[in-house]
Amino acid sequence: MADEGHGSDGGAGGVRAGIVATGSELLTGRITDRNGPWVAERLGELGVEVSHLVLVGDRGEDMAAALRFLAGDGIDLVVTTGGLGPTADDLTAEVVADETDRPLELHEHMEKVVGDIISRFADRLRWDADALAAANRKQAMVPRGATPIRPAGTAPGLAVPPHPWRGGPTVLVLPGPPREVRAMWDEALASGPVQEVLARTAPWTETHLRLFGVPESEIAATLRDVGAGTDLTPLEITTCLRDFTLEVDLRHAPASADAAIARDAVVAEIDRRHGKTIFSRTGQTIDELLFELLDGQVVATAESCTGGLLAGRLTAPAGASAHVAGGVVSYSNDAKADLLGVPRELIETHGAVSPQVAEAMADGALARFGATIAVAITGVAGPGGGTEAKPVGYVCFCVRTADGRTLARDPVLPGERGDVRERSVVLAMHLMRRALTGEGEPAPA
């Protein structure tokens, strides 16, 4: 992520937050933290400035040090994730209780709630009764004065008020599994201690632009030029290249006339220079946008070098069965011929990686699945197999609709094998978007 150096005072006088993601597995690289970025985004929507995101292992002294660091930096709200399970290394509740000087006490209602949840699995899994009782009791221990949050798994969350005489941050303690964090989030925000903090803030005004086919360097130049004639300090501007999409996010405090003027100047200049590459003005991803555009359509895929990755993306959202008919991974020449009806002489004449074969693959997918739109991908993903005429990264695309519209491309995509395959999927999705919206030529990948 790149921040172009423009930004407001960070909401001075507003609410500042820090996030502590716990788990030794996060530090080894075996697991990527999915909670911290998600929590940061949700807090940002509420007008809370997230100043720190800290990863710590399952060591009490490290967790305590992180909490003391955030308290010393004047943080108003700390959100922790992880370390709420029944095992000995699940120490978050104990550490937070110590740091806020709020002794742990058994919460009888939460003990019953957790017990009922665990008992559903106990008989079937033949869990040890004594171990079950100890785990149940451990997870029902709540710092004095804290508000427990109903669990989505077996671990309750905690909304812990500041230290009773020293003050400091309110601490919101959530479990580690991302599914549970998301399920408990609304109830956590509604808890008394968190509401007291959020009462001091207001949602920021946000603008989210998504562009495809523009490098960060060009947006950086655009922002510098706008900044030469307009004061951008009331704005927080963030640019991020993610999933081969350039995300430009503008945030500012509500009811700020200067910020609104700066925001409008930035958006107008991006529109003037890069308007044809903007595919979303709401922050929608290409996946979300394409899901909407496919409503009422029947889509089929024919993939070679991407090995089904496109079909995987299209079928990831719930409800995709309403428009995805199916796909063929025709990796071999025989599969292209036998499953998609690609003429063998076409492959012999032009090669398996060619615009002609991509077009025939799309025709085959349309016919085999009775689709209204089909997309075909065939290419040289590497690291070997490239030639002077068809180097590694050379990929042929064809999007064809039942009413005869066609979009075809054969760029040379940069990167290693994984990059080429992933870029191919994203480019194919944008070609589908343009075919469905009737837009002009797609930007280069």
pLDDT in tens, 297-333: 999 999 999 999 999 999 999 999 999 999 999 999 9
Dihedral over Cα of 308, 309, 310, 313: its sign: positive
Q: Omega before 383 cis (within 30°)?
A: yes
Identify which has the larger pLDDT, 111 or 288. Answer: 288
Q: pLDDT tens for residues 203-256?
A: 889 999 999 999 999 999 999 999 999 999 999 999 999 889 999 999 988 878
Q: Using 50, 70 and 90 to split pLDDT, how confident is the model at 127?
A: low
- Mean pLDDT over each residue of the chain, to the nearest integer: 91
CA atoms within 13 A on the CB side of 204: 29
Neighbours of 275 (CB within 10 A): 10
Q: Using 50, 70 and 90 to split pLDDT, how confident is the model at 111?
A: confident
CA 335 to chain centre: 35
- pLDDT at residue 118, rounded to an integer: 73
Q: Cβ contacts of residue 441 below 8 Å, gap of 6+?
A: 434
Percent of the chain with pLDDT over 90: 80
Say whether pLDDT at 3 is over 80. Answer: no
- Angle between the 92-99 and 60-72 helix axes, to the nearest 10 degrees? 40
CA distance 367 to 369: 6
Say whether pLDDT at 289 is over 80. Answer: yes
Over residues 423-441, mean pLDDT? 89
- Cβ burial, residue 296 (10 Å; 0-12/13-18/19+): exposed
> In one letter, which amino acid is 177?
P
CA distance 313 to 95: 41
For 173, phi then psi, to 5°, come to -105, 120
Identify which has the larger pLDDT, 176 or 127. Answer: 176
Say whether pLDDT at 41 is over 80. Answer: yes
- pLDDT at residue 1, rounded to an integer: 37
Note the pTM of the prediction, 2 decimals: 0.81
